[in-house]
Amino acid sequence: MTVSILWGWLIPVLLVAIAAGAWWWWRRTAARTSTDAVRVAHSERLTSLPRYRALAARRRQLLTAMTVAVAGLAVAGTVLLARPIGASATEPELHTRDIMLCLDVSGSMDSFNQELLATFAELVPQFEGERIGMTIWDSSAVTVFPLTTDYAYVTEQLTMLSQGFAENDYSQLQGTYYGEGGSSLIGDGLVSCALRFDAVDTHRSRSIIMATDNYVSGNPLVTLPEAARLVADRDIRLYALNVTSWGESDESVELAETAELTGGSSYLIEEPEEIAALVDTIADTEAAAFTGAPQVLEYAAPGVFLALGGAGLVALMGLAWKAGL
């Protein structure tokens, strides 16, 4: 934190005014004293007494202390009138994020998708301004809900789909098996999710959270490396939840390279229970990655000078009382 003076020019003006007032008062008091003084013969006998000297020294000390207190009070008051301003830098978190859930709904993914959807349903109430959308795919892609900030609707859809996976109700997956290209077409699915982002000309951070085992069973129109280049060109980060028990397989390596190409990351998941912690990690990473430009916040900072002025006033009152003024 730094402190500056908003109206710095006011300080010398006020100090000159105070000094001029003090000089005028001193001159007026001195002239009046010399005129009204009563002359006493042989006063040196009185002034040479130890008691008189002690009382005079005590009075000089009190007047000196009162002068210091008045000076401190004047300086503090002057600075306060000039408005001391504190400043601190902060990096606000942006709430202009778009997050697309991109789920492979082939049969091997059921238990993992159930956990992922349930976890996101719990996280949604924490969002503020972020838009969330979801696309599911197998051989073809279906938009479950577009990017939206209607969090009540999002939670309802996520919960309903999660329960459907738990109950083996596949009616909600209609449209994901369309075509004759096979199933689990990863590249096609990723491209479909990337194309769901709208308002591409606006400055928003965009990310895809894709859950898949990356086992292709068919002939996709777009390979995963081709899809990765499209995602990267659109400035979209990919966070891949790699659902497999073979972390060193070619499929896992390819998925990790795809995520890294977009500036995202790949996470190996062997058990559905691991998803909650990983989703929290991704959410924290996104929040850290998309903080706003540093901003300087200014605010009134009278603290030190207010304390100095208060101390000067209390001291002045105490000294005046002690001096019998």
Between 79 and 213, name the one with better pLDDT: 213
| pLDDT surpassing 80 at residue 90 | no
b/e sequence 239-261, b meaning 16+ C-beta within 10 Å: bbbbbbeeeeeebbebbbebbee
pLDDT band at 271 (very low <50, low <70, confident <90, very high): low
Q: What is 97-289's CATH topology?
A: Rossmann fold (3.40.50)
* Non-local CB neighbours of 23 within 8 Å, separated by 6+ positions: none
pLDDT at residue 174 in the model: 84
What DSSP element (H or E) covers 55?
A: helix 50-81
* Non-local CB neighbours of 72 within 8 Å, separated by 6+ positions: 308, 309, 311, 312, 315
50-64, 112-126, 275-289: segment of lowest average pLDDT: 275-289
The listed range with the strongest mean pLDDT (28-42, 84-98, 168-182, 187-201) is: 187-201
Between 179 and 101, name the one with better pLDDT: 101
pLDDT at residue 294 in the model: 65
pLDDT at residue 273 in the model: 62
CB-CB contact of 149 with 133 (8 Å):
no
Share of the chain above pLDDT 70, in %: 77
> What are the C-alpha distances in Å from 20 to residues 13, 16, 17, 23, 27?
11, 6, 5, 5, 11
| pLDDT surpassing 80 at residue 86 | no
| pLDDT surpassing 70 at residue 41 | no
| pLDDT surpassing 80 at residue 167 | yes
pTM: 0.58
| pLDDT surpassing 70 at residue 181 | no
pLDDT digits (tens, 9 = 90+) for 182-220: 777 889 999 999 999 987 777 778 889 888 888 888 888
244 alpha-carbon distance from chain centroid: 36
CB-CB contact of 278 with 259 (8 Å):
no
305 alpha-carbon distance from chain centroid: 30
CB-CB contact of 196 with 143 (8 Å):
yes
pLDDT band at 42 (very low <50, low <70, confident <90, very high): low
Between 231 and 282, name the one with better pLDDT: 231
Map out the domains of the chain as residue ranges. Answer: 2-29+47-89+296-323, 97-289
| pLDDT surpassing 90 at residue 133 | yes
